[in-house]
């Protein structure tokens, strides 16, 4: 049973023994946190489920801390106060994990051994510790907890995780409150830690308005460009929280909003009702499917050919004939990369630096098949995945020798070579913003160490979508 849902900001400053004499600067948030925590305590949850954006964040999987006892402190913020500790609700967590597996939503279990091997975080982060402080103070000290980190999965998957949590709780007759941890925009003023962006106040005002009215669809339809420009860290937590309320009536309440340090702090709560309302999950899926269809209707010729080839090969084990309206692809030769994405994440990418086949049509066809079936980082594509794929084709210009100061990761790809080792990185990739990042990744792909001498080439790319 879902007893309550809440959105909590997480600046450590609002914890009294950290904020100390500065607590008055965030007094509205402190007062609101106490009121929200009291509402949760009144709902008598057996378990508190937290969604945090500051744990172990993966592109393609929710992560969960799975040690029997979970603890953490604010030592990273200069505190010497003893940390907080709670028992993990492993029975409920296992049930959630099973349901996520059945729904093909990946969930990674992070235990002490895995954390030690890969340097993952095994303690509770401040995204959980801040609201937990107020919840324990309000009387939830005996409640077990579950610590889940958000992921860069499609919104439909994040939303469904929230619903699966509620269903798992009902199956185990567990009273559960969910807490979405997250701050709003980090770009409210030039006086804060980040520069002012006009989208910051715009995003925060929109979120406050939509949450106060309980407009789930409105929240889910906030453009990604606006969210990114605002620099928020709570949106995905909110989506998971709203999923837990899917199909239920609820009473929303915004307890407070303020942005005293250039970062928006919004405290809100949602009391579940007994009435039913239409599920939003199918609507989200339909919107994502329509977005893929719209993209395919606007496909360029190279992309349409790559998709035709891969779909025919995966479904029937053969390549189609080149349609007459694509004969222009036979008129030139060039290296080409075919990239596949599924649910926003890379699903395969194979290409050639220079032309190795008779024409561009052959180059794209061969690399499309390889991207879907021979990229060693992924399992070969299954037919049921084809409708979820997004394609892009990069056609490479002729490489030219370059120096480090002639590189530009936005406009030029890079090739590094040392002896027989060679590594390539395409331009304009998400998360690759500097020359140093571009070279480091290219060197890593080539297996070239920092101590080895290497040559650099740059190349232009025409990207087709």
- Domain closes at, from 285, 320, 346: 285
Residue 450 pLDDT class (50, 70, 90 cuts): confident
Q: Is 291 inside a domain boundary? A: no
The whole-number average pLDDT for the span 212-221 is 96
Q: Is 35 inside a domain boundary? A: yes
Question: What local confidence, expressed as pLDDT, does residue 219 receive?
Answer: 97
Question: What local confidence, expressed as pLDDT, does residue 247 receive?
Answer: 95
Tell me how long the chain is.
Answer: 465
**406 and 313 in a common domain:** no
**120 and 191 in a common domain:** yes
Q: How far is CA 95 from CA 77, 98, 101, 107, 147, in A?
A: 35, 5, 10, 12, 14
Question: What local confidence, expressed as pLDDT, does residue 21 receive?
Answer: 87
Closest CA to 155 of 343, 376, 341, 336: 343
**92 and 19 in a common domain:** yes
- Domain closes at, from 396, 416, 444: 396
> How large a percentage of the chain has pLDDT more than 70?
100
Q: Which region holds residue 104: left if phi is over 0, alpha if psi is between -120 and 50, else beta?
A: left
Domain that holds residue 266: 2-285
Residues 6+ apart with CB under 8 A from 341: 347, 389, 390, 391, 392
Instruction: Give yes or no for residue 329 having a pLDDT over 80.
Output: yes
- Domain closes at, from 367, 396, 425: 396
The CATH number covering residue 457 comes to 3.30.1490.150
**158 and 123 in a common domain:** yes
Domain count, the chain: 3
- pLDDT tens digits, one per residue of 376-423: 999 999 999 999 999 999 999 999 999 999 999 999 999 999 999 999
Question: What local confidence, expressed as pLDDT, does residue 12 receive?
Answer: 96
Question: What local confidence, expressed as pLDDT, does residue 404 receive?
Answer: 93
Question: What local confidence, expressed as pLDDT, does residue 5 receive?
Answer: 98
For residues 129 and 72, the answer to whether their CB atoms sit within 8 Å is yes
For residues 163 and 59, the answer to whether their CB atoms sit within 8 Å is no
The whole-number average pLDDT for the span 358-367 is 98
Q: Is 293 inside a domain boundary? A: no
Question: What local confidence, expressed as pLDDT, does residue 13 receive?
Answer: 95
- What is the widest separation between alpha-carbon atoms in the chain? 75
The CATH number covering residue 6 comes to 3.40.830.10
Question: What local confidence, expressed as pLDDT, does residue 266 receive?
Answer: 98
**368 and 459 in a common domain:** no
The whole-number average pLDDT for the span 179-187 is 97
The whole-number average pLDDT for the span 25-42 is 97
pTM: predicted TM-score of the whole model, two decimal places: 0.80
For residues 288 and 154, the answer to whether their CB atoms sit within 8 Å is yes
CA–CA separation, 156 and 287 (whole Å)? 10
**325 and 224 in a common domain:** no
The whole-number average pLDDT for the span 264-285 is 93
Residue 227 pLDDT class (50, 70, 90 cuts): very high
Q: Is 290 inside a domain boundary? A: no
The whole-number average pLDDT for the span 259-267 is 96
Q: What's the mean pLDDT when you consider all of the chain?
A: 95
The whole-number average pLDDT for the span 147-160 is 95
Q: Is 412 inside a domain boundary? A: yes
Instruction: Give yes or no for residue 265 having a pLDDT over 90.
Output: yes
The whole-number average pLDDT for the span 337-350 is 91
**381 and 247 in a common domain:** no
The whole-number average pLDDT for the span 279-308 is 92
Q: Is 126 inside a domain boundary? A: yes
Instruction: Give yes or no for residue 182 having a pLDDT over 80.
Output: yes
Q: How far is CA 175 from CA 14, 65, 209, 240, in A?
A: 28, 20, 29, 18
Residue 431 pLDDT class (50, 70, 90 cuts): confident
**310 and 276 in a common domain:** no
**304 and 160 in a common domain:** no
Q: Is 248 inside a domain boundary? A: yes
Question: What local confidence, expressed as pLDDT, does residue 311 receive?
Answer: 97
Of residues 286 and 120, the one with the higher pLDDT is 120
The phi, psi pair for 451, rounded to 5°, reads -85, -15
**402 and 387 in a common domain:** no
Question: What local confidence, expressed as pLDDT, does residue 291 receive?
Answer: 87
Q: Is 292 inside a domain boundary? A: no
Q: Kindly write down the DSSP assignment for every residue of 291-306, as one continuous string.
A: HHHHHHHT--HHHHHH
The whole-number average pLDDT for the span 321-350 is 94
Residue 173 pLDDT class (50, 70, 90 cuts): very high
Question: What local confidence, expressed as pLDDT, does residue 430 receive?
Answer: 81
Instruction: Give yes or no for residue 192 having a pLDDT over 80.
Output: no
The whole-number average pLDDT for the span 21-49 is 96
**274 and 156 in a common domain:** yes
**413 and 362 in a common domain:** no
Alpha-carbon torsion, ordered 353, 355, 361, 362, to 10 deg: -100
The CATH number covering residue 327 comes to 3.30.700.20
Question: What local confidence, expressed as pLDDT, does residue 82 receive?
Answer: 86
């Amino acid at each position: 049973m879902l007893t309550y849902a809440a959105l909590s900001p997480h600046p450590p400053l609002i914890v009294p023994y950290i904020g100390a004499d500065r607590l008055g600067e965030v007094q509205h948030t402190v007062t609101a946190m106490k009121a929200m925590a009291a509402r949760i305590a009144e709902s008598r949850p057996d378990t508190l489920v937290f969604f945090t954006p500051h744990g172990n964040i993966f592109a393609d999987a929710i992560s969960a801390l799975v040690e029997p006892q979970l603890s953490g402190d604010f030592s990273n913020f200069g505190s010497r106060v003893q940390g907080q500790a709670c028992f993990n609700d492993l029975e409920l967590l296992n049930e959630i994990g099973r349901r996520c597996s059945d729904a093909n939503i990946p969930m990674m279990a992070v235990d002490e051994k895995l954390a030690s091997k890969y340097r993952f975080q095994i303690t509770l982060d401040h995204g959980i510790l801040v609201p937990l402080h107020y919840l324990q103070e309000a009387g939830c000290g005996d409640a077990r907890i579950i610590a889940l980190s958000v992921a860069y999965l499609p919104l439909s998957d994040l939303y469904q995780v929230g619903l699966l949590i509620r269903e798992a709780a009902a199956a185990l007759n567990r009273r559960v409150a969910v807490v979405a941890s997250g701050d709003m925009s980090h770009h409210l003023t030039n006086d804060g830690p980040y520069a002012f962006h006009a989208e910051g106040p715009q995003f925060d005002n929109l979120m406050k308005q939509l949450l106060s009215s309980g407009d789930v669809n409105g929240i889910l339809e906030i453009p990604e460009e606006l969210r990114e420009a605002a620099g928020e860290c709570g949106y995905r937590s909110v989506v998971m929280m709203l999923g837990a309320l899917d199909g239920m009536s609820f009473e929303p309440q915004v307890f407070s909003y303020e942005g005293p340090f250039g970062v928006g702090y919004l405290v809100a709560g949602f009391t579940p009702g007994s009435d039913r309302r239409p599920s939003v999950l199918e609507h989200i899926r339909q919107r994502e499917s329509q977005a893929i269809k719209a993209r395919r209707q606007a496909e360029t010729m190279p992309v349409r050919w790559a998709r035709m080839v891969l779909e025919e090969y995966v479904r029937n084990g053969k390549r189609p004939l080149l349609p007459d309206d694509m004969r222009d692809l036979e008129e030139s030769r060039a290296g080409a990369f075919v990239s596949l994405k599924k649910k926003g994440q890379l699903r395969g990418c194979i290409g050639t630096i220079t032309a190795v086949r008779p024409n561009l049509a052959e180059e794209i066809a061969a690399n499309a098949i390889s991207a879907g079936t021979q990229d060693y980082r992924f399992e070969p594509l299954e037919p049921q995945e084809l409708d979820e794929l997004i394609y892009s084709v990069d056609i490479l210009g002729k490489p030219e020798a370059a120096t480090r100061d002639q590189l530009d990761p936005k406009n030029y790809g890079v090739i590094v070579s040392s002896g027989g080792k060679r590594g390539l990185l395409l331009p304009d990739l998400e998360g690759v913003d500097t020359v140093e990042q571009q070279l480091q990744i290219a060197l890593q792909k080539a297996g070239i160490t920092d101590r080895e001498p290497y040559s650099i080439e740059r190349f232009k790319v025409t990207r087709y979508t």
